Amino acid sequence: VLPARLFFEAVEQSSVAISITDTRANILYANPAFERVTGYGVAEVVGRNESILSDRHTPSLVYETLWGRLRQLKPWSGVLVNRRKDGSRYLAELSIAPVLDGQGQLSHYLGMHRDVTEMH
């Protein structure tokens, strides 16, 4: 059986920006790559909503589609324009997956994204 410590270290050392939120997208955990990509320190994002990364020009239909999938307990992936702490924008290739508890009820969300600005 793999130790929990190994899961933690693997996530901490991933080059992908990883965050875990409650069911309302409030951030509970973010890894070091999340800090590098977004410019926000872990301590300052914990307790805040993922919407701090939202670029205010993204059509609301995009977020409605995303939440429509999540409400059905299905994952969503796509490319969004995100804003860093310093206000600069980047293209985020993002996947969000619901995390279910032992009873199959929604307990958290897992978000994973990388900056793909240079690939476009």
Residues that bind ligand FAD (CB under 6 A): 19, 21, 24-25, 49-51, 53-54, 60, 63-64, 67, 71, 80, 82, 92, 94, 96, 109, 111, 113
Nearest-approach distance from CB 119 to ligand FAD, in angstroms? 17
Q: Is the dihedral of CA 23, 27, 31, 33 positive or negative?
A: positive
* Residue 13 or 65 having the CB closest to ligand FAD: 65
Residues in the chain: 120
Question: Could you say which DSSP state residue 70 is in?
Answer: H
Nearest-approach distance from CB 18 to ligand FAD, in angstroms? 9
Give me the phi and psi of 16, to 5 degrees please.
-90, 140
